[in-house]
Structure formats: structure tokens, C-alpha cells
Amino acid sequence: MKFIARELKVNEQIRVRQVRLIGADGQQQGIMETRDALRLAREAELDLALVGEGAQPPVAKLMDYGKYRYELQQQEKEARRKSRQQEMKAIKFRVKIDDHDYETKVNHVRRFLKGGHKVKLTIMFRGRERTHPELGQEILNRVASDVSDIAVVESAPSLAGMDMNMVLGPIKSPAKESPQR
């Protein structure tokens, strides 16, 4: 949207002879000379904004440009507030993990999943533990089965160097996916 007149000043860069004018109420005023459209904007103490440059003749609208910009900013702010960023949380396990430590970490995983975040589970192998990746896979499968009521496995356990990784994502509730009216 190009701007023709603001605060009763004419922008000399835009040379448009005629415009199709839309009034402040949204009704079409018809095709008129740019000079006459500027005069109407001054009389109404509004701005003349070019909203359709590609049309023949170009389309201009009488509006309070400051108010328009403010409303756009408010809509963007509201959209940012409503959109939720999904973070990737990480939990690290060891092959030789005690039962209580395991339960504590599974509770953390549950809390992250209920918050709507994805969780990356990592089993860290050290030294000779690397020769037994099945032990790490058992732990990851156990975690996946313990949180299967609220999570789905997004990427299966895979060995990468000295670590084995798996990603869990929250199960989407049917009410959030398709709202019924």
C-alpha cells in the first residue's frame, strides 16, 4: 500500500492522474482526478492511500492511516500472543540409571509433554557401554511405553556417535485439531 497524502502533504513522487476512489465508509466514489481526491481527503481530514497500484486506474482509499497502522500492529501482536512456540526439551539418561532417578526423569518428560513441548531423549554411552547399545534402546523403549498415554514416538531410537537419541511428541487432542460447531 503506497501512501499518497499524509497530514495534508502531497507526495510528489507518485504521479497518478486519475484514481478509483473508495470513501472512508467503504463505498466506491467512482473514478476522479487525483487532485479532487486529495481535496476530499483534506476536507475530511483523512489520508489518501493507494491500495491497488496494479489496477487501471489505480485504487485509492480515504482512511486514517495512523489508525490503520495501529490496528495492523494490534492484530500482529494478538496473532503472536495466540501462536505458541513449540520448544524441543532434552532429557539425558545413562545406561546405569537407578530406579528413582529414572522415575524423576520420566516425570520431567511427562511435564514437558503436558506443556505441549517435544522431548528429545538421549542415552549417553561411556567407554565399554558403547558395545551394548541394546541396553540404551531398552531404556528408551521403556520411557516411550511409560508415557504412551500422552506421547507418540516421532523418531525411533538411533545411534549417533556415543549417544542414542529418540524424539517424543505430545499427542494432539481431537478437540484442538478440528473444532466442532
Q: Are residues 115 and 66 in the same domain?
A: no
Q: Are residues 98 and 167 in the same domain?
A: yes
Q: Are residues 12 and 76 in the same domain?
A: yes
pLDDT of residue 166: 94
Q: Are residues 14 and 76 in the same domain?
A: yes
Across the range 109-115, mean pLDDT stands at: 91
Residue with cell 489496477: 55
**How many structural domains is the chain composed of?**
2
Domain boundary among 21, 49, 80: 80
The CATH code of the domain that includes 17 is 3.10.20.80
For 151, residues 6+ apart whose C-beta sits below 8 A from its C-beta are 109, 113, 119, 144, 168, 169, 170, 171
Domain boundary among 26, 47, 80: 80
Domain boundary among 51, 80, 109: 80
The CATH code of the domain that includes 154 is 3.30.110.10
Helix, strand, coil % over all residues of the chain, rounded to 5: 40, 35, 30
Q: How much is the pTM?
A: 0.52
Range of the domain at 99: 88-177
pLDDT of residue 139: 93
How confident is the model over 33-61, as pLDDT tens digits? 888 888 888 888 888 888 877 778 888 88
Confidence of residue 63 (pLDDT cuts 50, 70, 90): confident
pLDDT of residue 111: 93
